[in-house]
Every structure is written in structure tokens, then in C-alpha cells.
Structure 1
Amino acid sequence: MKLQVQRTYNFNAGPSALPLSVLEKAQAELIDFRGTGMSVMELSHRSRPYEEVHNQAISSLKELLAIPNTHEVLFLQGGASLQFSMIPMNFLQPGKKASYVMTGSWSEKAFSEAKLFGEVYHAASTKEGNYRSIPTINELQYDKEDAYVHLTSNNTIYGTQWKDFPDTGDVPLIADMSSDILSKPIDVSKFALIYAGAQKNLGPSGVTVVIIRKDFLESANTNIPTMLKYSTHAKNNSLYNTPPTFGIYMLGEVLNWARDLGGLEAIAKRNEEKANLIYSVIDGSNGFYIGHADQDSRSLMNLTFNLKTPELEKKFLDQAKQAGFVGVNGHRSIGGCRVSAYNAVPVEACQAFSEFMTQFQKDNN
């Protein structure tokens, strides 16, 4: 018998909401996966039933993101944080420099790791303005001889997001898309490498997706440990060692859900609708709510704001929690409030929170 469960309004920044239909399917298949008599977590990663799951997830990702044949799809482990090291280890060759666009905490961490392997510098930074904006493409300063240019497409802590990406020509462009991959159509051909932790829009934590251009892959350093070479995983279809099989299964089901919603065009419209429900209250609040990000840099994934006073902010967060809204506190490094409206967060959740914000202002103005 199926249990009736009260689902909460989940605005956690990650791990984040998953589609209810995906969770229900996983629940139904948990003990006996497609007649195998085993859970998908118990299958050998060398078995045919798992290989079908694995290859279908790769195929679905290629289809949804319109990934060209020039690029490989890899499923890795270690999160985006390991990519901060793997990228310079593989591609920051001696005598070369790499440039990093600084837009928040995650780009700072990526930059710090890269410094351990070679010479890196800032192509642009908005730190002086407390990371309220994304640099304009004209503000980027990098050298045509750089090993690569690195950017973070969406900044979860500060609530900013790139709307358009630079064309860096012959300089390889690398993007950390952990928090907005699959949220809108992108031109994958612009990028030499895209990486993303799964736990925002792709599935549960444990899987890291890497999309890498084949010719860029061929230029990688080979004098590094086997498991830290992208080529190791590309040659073995991401099956060199035991992959996070359950996470990849769930990722494949999330991709099926995204396809059934209408693909990335439909998802992008849905995400704009959700974000507008919150931003319209902020903009119409006469300063009661104060958005952190500049309007032209606002994220559709992470909506950040403050209230007029710390006391009012605490009251707001306490009442939001009591009303069943989870994960609304801002990141511990900057405080404030944050609504993370990733793909699987339903429109109804954002509508309910918008109404809560409006009522709270009426009660406390």
C-alpha cells in the first residue's frame, strides 16, 4: 500500500528538490529493478541491465543539451570541488597561464586550487561590489595564449547568473554549471569543458557530469595519476572503476522527467515564471525586501534578498520555517534569505512563498 506523505516546500540550495514522480518511480523499482530481482544499487556495474541505465543517461543528456559529437560526456565522482583541481592538473601546462572570472565563492575556490598547479590571474572580478553582478563580456581581460578561461555560470550564494557567455575564440572556455545546468538551453559548442555536480538540477549528490571537447581532451597532461586523467574515464565510458550507480540511475530518470516536461525551452519558461513570482514581490515591496543581485544579473535558480533590519529578517525566517518553507536561510557566509528554485521545485511552491512574503509585509510594515 502506498503511504500518503506530506511533502514540504523544499528550497534547499543543494542537495535540493527532486521531482516527485522520479522519487515515486525509484521507490517502486527499489527492491526489484526491472525484473532483475535486485535493486539497481545491487547490480554489477558491468552487467547489461546497469549498462543500459548508464548509456541511456548519457544519450538523454546529449539529446536534452544538444551536445555535439565533438564532445564527450563523463560521469565522475568527487563533486565540482574535485574539478577545481582536476582542470588545472590536466590543462594548465608549464609556461601557460589560466584566467578566472571571479563572481563569487565558488570561483574563488576554483582559483585557489588552480594556484597550486600554475600561474593564474583574474580575467575580471565583481568582488568589490560584493558580487552583486556578472561582468560584462567587454570587461573580460584574458590573453589569447591562455590555457583556458574559467567562469561559474550561476552563483548560488550571491544569486547572480550569466545571461550570455563570451566567445573566447581559440582560448578554451570552461564553465562550472553546477547550479544551473539543464535550466535553459545553452550552446555547448562554445565550451571546451562544462562540469556540474548533480545535486541541484540533475539528481542526487554523488555524480559529477563533465562535458568535454574531444580535441581539448587530447591536449591534456598525461603525467598525472590515472584516476585524475579525463582520458581514463573517456576511454572507459566512465566505467574504469565502480561509478555511483544509483545516482546515475536517478540522473537518467530526472532527464526523462525533463524531456516529458517539454525539454529545456519549456523548463526555462517555467523557471522564469517561478523566479518572477518572488522577484515581483521584492520589486514591489517599496524597500521592505532588498534584493542582493543587480537586476540584470539576477539568478533564476537562487533568489537572494534581505529585509530592512536583522530583527525583521530573523522573524521572517522563523515564520517561514513554521509555515513549512525549508532552506530559506541565506548561506552562512553572508546571511540574509535565499530561495533556491531549481528545476524540480514546483511553481506552486514559489506561488505559496510569494503569498507568504506579501502577507508578512502587510503584517509587519
Structure 2
Amino acid sequence: MKPNTRPRTPNFSSGPCAKRPGWTIEALSDALVGRSHRSKEGKAKLAEVIDLSRSILGLPATHRLGIVPASDTGAVEMALWSLLGARPVTMLAWESFGKDWVTDVVKQLRLQDATVLQAPYGELPDLSGVDFSHDVVFTWNGTTSGARVPDGGWIPDDREGLTICDATSAAFAMDLPWDKLDVVTWSWQKVLGGEGQHGMLVLGPRAVARLESHKPAWPMPKLFRMTKDGKLNEGIFKGETINTPSMIAVEDAIDGLNWARSIGGLDALIARSEANLAAVSAWVARSPWAGFLAKDPATRSCTSICLEFVDPEVTRLAPEARAELAKKVASILEKEGVAKDIGSYRDAPPGLRIWGGATIDTADVEALLPWLDWAYAAAKAEIAKAA
């Protein structure tokens, strides 16, 4: 039977993600449009994003935080191009974006002393075998695989290399151990539902020391340059952006951060995301056809919740047939207006991906779950009829 209850908001995209509950275009009414971002008011807006982010995340005073170009991708590549080359590097990859950073290091920067530790979608590499005399690059949460590192216990305090962490789908939804992380990146478009284009970059003291002591062997584009005359450009971390930011996107980021503060800050954001994962977990436990791509409960993401087919009738099918089924399920859900952008990432195993970040109400997740059963049955029936 087709369910009667629909999610209030059907937006379950993993990026850009759903706006905060109650968001309307009026949230942008105070945007500093038509003005320079270098004006006193413009710099104040940019500094507000930095200050609110620092406060909500509990960032130590020792760590710089800046707004940089080109979303999380720009922030990660800025760190890789600026910091790597002084030591050997170990790249950890278990999903699409981690593999992108491997490509950057191995094929673009062409570092000869790079070690790559990979794992299939849904799994993690052996973290106990990581050599921390190297610089180490990894994603905290695999946005396309639904697998996250369980904590920071595997990172030693006396490490010699830097830890460079892509936390774009983890920041504001997971507790990040700042003392273990020398570089952290994210974008506005994930957990707080902001707009794309801009990235955030955290530099700990060890990363700053590397920047001021190491000159990369390759040319540095203007967008990546964080030093002047061998010293850190502190202006980047006070709202003096390298390129021109969208002041409308800035206003939206401020709105999301103020909402986060109003509901109780980081603890409340984490609780909302974990509640969404718990709702899906309870449903998966009784589902005959859906399972988590991440098998270990300790490594399951509470933001990018990735599901695969476990129905024996389907697991016997060729990958192309499973992919067709996944697309059909997602299409049915979208046509019904109950779930948009819910298909698995193009490089991931066929299945579904439900965004469970803090802007998603758990009531909407709970309303969605019966629709998944209905759409799955309908998709199987359609494919069987066509055959």
C-alpha cells in the first residue's frame, strides 16, 4: 500500500543539502549586495562567519580558520599544493573524493614518495598500519560511501607528519578531535545547508610552521598562496578572502550558523544527525531488501547514509541491472515528491543515499522510510513486467 504520510521536506540530497527547518528567502534580506567584500561592512560579515564557526565547533585559539575559494575541493587542494613535499605522504582512500585526492598527489603533484592505502566502498583501510612519520591525507567521513573513521584514537599525539583531513560531510555533525588534526576543510553546503562555492580551512600550529618553512617545488596559483615573504598571510584568517566571495552566500552561511547556535550548538547538531541515523538503522534492521554499505556500526556515517541491496533476488543480478533498479527506485520517489536526489553516487555501488545531516528533521526521515519499501516493490514490479 502506498504510504499516507509524506516528509514535510523531500530534499535528501548529499550536497547541496537541505536548508535549515523554517528557512525562507527572507533569511537573505540583510545580505550586503552591491557592496565590496573589502568594505568595513563586508569584512565584518566574513569575520562573523569565521567567529561563529569557531565558537560552535569549539576550535582552539591555536588554530586559524579562514574562508577560501572553490568549496571544500578548493580548500583541500589549497592544503595539498601548499603543504606537501616536505615529507613522504600516505593517502587514505575509501570513497570517491578520497580517490580524487590520491589523483592530485600521484598524478598532478607527482610525488614519488606517496603511499596509497585504499579500501572498498563501505570499508576503511587498516588505520593501525598508518605511518605517521609521513604526512597523512584522509576524509573523516566518506560522503559517497557512508563510512567514517570512528574517532581520532588512531592518530598519535607525537606524530612527525601533518594530518590533513577533508571533513566536509563531518564538520558540525561529528565530534572532531582538533588536537589530532593539523589541517581540516569543509564547505558551507553540507551539514548547515548553506550554498556552495566557498570552502573553510583550518590550520593548526604545525601546519602554519610547515607553511613558513617549506617552499613547494611546483608553481603556486594565486588562489593557493597562503604566505607572503615566507610568513603566513594572516588576513585570510580574518575575513580578507583571496578572491571575491558571494555576499548572498555569506549571508546564508551566517543564517545557518545562527540557527545552529539557537538550537544548542554542536551537541544539538550532532544529536540531530545521530537521531536520523538511528531511525534508518531501526528500519534497516527489519528490512528484507536494504542494508548499510558500511557493515561496521562503528563506522557508519550519520550524514551520508548509504544503503545497498541485500535482497537475494537482486544481489544475483549483474551490476548494470542493480544500477537500473536503484535508478528506478530513486525516480519513483522523486516523481511522488517524497525524496529528491536520493540515488547513490555515480561511482558507488548501486543503492540509495539518504542525507541525515543536522538540517534534516528526524520526522521526515521516519516518514520517508515506508516510501522506500513501497518504491522498491514498485520498481521491482516495473522491471519484471518490462522483462
TM range (shorter): 0.7 to 0.9
- Alignment CA distance shift 1:10-1:90 (3 Å): same
The within-5 A match list for 1:188-337 is 188-202=178-192, 203-220=194-211, 221-222=214-215, 224-231=220-227, 234-236=234-236, 237-239=238-240, 240-286=242-288, 288-296=289-297, 297-307=299-309, 308=311, 309=314, 310=322, 313-324=326-337, 325-334=339-348, 335-337=350-352
Which residue does the alignment assign to 1:3?
none
Counterpart code for 2:101 = A
In the alignment, is the contact (CA less than 8 A) between 1:124 and 1:135 conserved in 2? yes
In the alignment, is the contact (CA less than 8 A) between 2:71 and 2:198 conserved in 1? yes
Q: Indicate yes or no: 2:340 matched with 1:349.
A: no
Match of 2:164, SS state, is strand
Per the TM alignment, residue 313 of structure 1 is displaced from its structure 2 partner at its CA by: 4.0
Which residue does the alignment assign to 1:81?
73
Which residue does the alignment assign to 1:100?
91
Match of 1:40, SS state, is coil
Per the TM alignment, residue 81 of structure 1 is displaced from its structure 2 partner at its CA by: 2.4
- Alignment CA distance shift 1:314-1:172 (3 Å): closer
**2: CA distance between counterparts of 1:183 and 1:163?**
13
Give TM-score, length-normalised by structure 2: 0.80
Give TM-score, length-normalised by structure 1: 0.85
- Alignment CA distance shift 1:331-1:235 (3 Å): same
Which residue does the alignment assign to 2:118?
125
Which residue does the alignment assign to 1:68?
60
Match of 1:211, SS state, is strand
Which residue does the alignment assign to 1:19?
20
Q: Indicate yes or no: 2:114 matched with 1:112.
A: no
**1: CA distance between counterparts of 2:250 and 2:270?**
23
Moved more, 13-22 or 169-178: 13-22
**2: CA distance between counterparts of 1:108 and 1:362?**
34
Per the TM alignment, residue 22 of structure 1 is displaced from its structure 2 partner at its CA by: 4.2
**1: CA distance between counterparts of 2:268 and 2:371?**
26
Per the TM alignment, residue 209 of structure 1 is displaced from its structure 2 partner at its CA by: 0.3
Q: Indicate yes or no: 2:151 matched with 1:160.
A: no
Structure 1 unmatched runs, 5+: 1-5, 34-38
- Alignment CA distance shift 1:238-1:228 (3 Å): farther
**2: CA distance between counterparts of 1:59 and 1:354?**
38
Moved more, 77-86 or 232-241: 232-241
In the alignment, is the contact (CA less than 8 A) between 2:185 and 2:202 conserved in 1? yes
In the alignment, is the contact (CA less than 8 A) between 1:102 and 1:122 conserved in 2? no
Match of 1:276, SS state, is helix
In the alignment, is the contact (CA less than 8 A) between 2:15 and 2:189 conserved in 1? yes
- Alignment CA distance shift 1:82-1:52 (3 Å): closer
Deviation string 1:245-293 (CA, Å, 9 cap, x unpaired) is 222222122111111111111221211111121222122113x213211
- Alignment CA distance shift 1:85-1:62 (3 Å): closer
In the alignment, is the contact (CA less than 8 A) between 1:84 and 1:109 conserved in 2? no
**2: CA distance between counterparts of 1:52 and 1:235?**
13
In the alignment, is the contact (CA less than 8 A) between 2:50 and 2:239 conserved in 1? no
What is the alpha-carbon root mean square deviation over aligned residues? 2.5
Per the TM alignment, residue 164 of structure 1 is displaced from its structure 2 partner at its CA by: 0.5
Which residue does the alignment assign to 1:183?
173
Match of 2:202, SS state, is strand
Which residue does the alignment assign to 2:318?
none
Per the TM alignment, residue 244 of structure 1 is displaced from its structure 2 partner at its CA by: 3.1
Per the TM alignment, residue 120 of structure 1 is displaced from its structure 2 partner at its CA by: 4.6
**1: CA distance between counterparts of 2:113 and 2:276?**
38
Structure 2 unmatched runs, 5+: 1-6, 315-321, 382-387
Deviation string 1:105-156 (CA, Å, 9 cap, x unpaired) is 1111101101232235346321xxx322223532x32152x2x211101112
Counterpart code for 1:194 = V
